[in-house]
Amino acid sequence: QKEVEQNSGPLSVPEGAIASLNCTYSDRGSQSFFWYRQYSGKSPELIMFIYSNGDKEDGRFTAQLNKASQYVSLLIRDSQPSDSATYLCAVNGRGSNYKLTFGKGTLLTVNP
Amino acid sequence: EAGVVQSPRYKIIEKKQPVAFWCNPISGHNTLYWYLQNLGQGPELLIRYENEEAVDDSQLPKDRFSAERLKGVDSTLKIQPAELGDSAVYLCASSWGLVNEQFFGPGTRLTVL
């Protein structure tokens, strides 16, 4: 079982819709969770991080964490064509092994 | 504030040749990471430095890969000899401490012919 699982997509949504990106992880002791956006040919850039159960909102982005279900999601409201990218979920390990493990990423396409 | 700097941006070499990548982290960031990213995959950690000490190199193929971070600032990753399967993007990232967000450089795209 891969440590961090994401649906590779592509996920296609119309402009203005809500895009929902999902991620599950296997290490129950994971401490922190990150969403990175990666445009084609570019490096990953951090858009959200979350440490506690519940929702965290930042502009059009909402991260949701459910540690009991080992599930983290990213919602993008009012999706724009400029949001079209691969979204990488990353999970930080527990204890002294703060290794950031990435999923394969979900390719999101927002259609005008 | 300047971001993470990497060079070269692109490198094409023939197999069995050596290659080196350089990274300068964000000023003040004591933790530096080297990742490998294959097409369609997420980044995979090769080595992590805390200051000048390599604290996690469990994923570094030590028969051909080496890294150093002299003086705890910039870092070099070397492959010798390169193999066809080493073709990938090599990303450098830095952070302040272990739990804070990591910032990535633009990467070096390596092609081994």
Q: Does A7 touch chain B (CB under 8 A)?
A: no
Tell me what pLDDT residue A100 has: 87
- Burial grade of A86 (CB within 10 A; 0-12, 13-18, 19 or more): buried
Per-residue pLDDT of chain A (112 residues; tens, 9 = 90+): 568 999 888 999 999 999 999 999 998 888 889 999 999 999 999 999 999 999 999 999 999 999 999 999 999 999 999 999 999 999 987 654 667 899 999 999 999 9
Q: Does A63 touch chain B (CB under 8 A)?
A: no
| Mode of pairing for the β-strands spanning B31-37 and B44-50 | antiparallel
Best residue in A2, A25, A100 for a mutation probing chain B (most B CBs within 10 Å): A100
Q: Does B107 touch chain A (CB under 8 A)?
A: yes
Per-residue pLDDT of chain B (113 residues; tens, 9 = 90+): 689 999 999 999 999 999 999 999 999 999 999 999 999 999 999 999 999 999 889 899 999 999 999 888 999 999 999 999 999 999 999 998 776 789 999 999 999 99
Tell me what pLDDT residue A97 has: 65
Cα–Cα distance, A55 to A21 (Å, whole number): 14
Q: Does A103 touch chain B (CB under 8 A)?
A: yes
Structure-derived torsion over alpha carbons of residues B14, B5, B49, A104, reported in degrees to the nearest 10: -70
Helix (H, G, I), strand (E, B) or coil at A79: coil
Tell me what pLDDT residue B104 has: 96
Tell me what pLDDT residue B1 has: 65
SS3 per residue for A92-104:
ECCCCCCCEEECC
Tell me what pLDDT residue A28 has: 87
Tell me what pLDDT residue B29 has: 93
Closest C-alpha among A53, A92, A59 to residue A75: A59
The answer to whether the Cβ–Cβ distance between B48 and A99 falls below 8 Å is yes
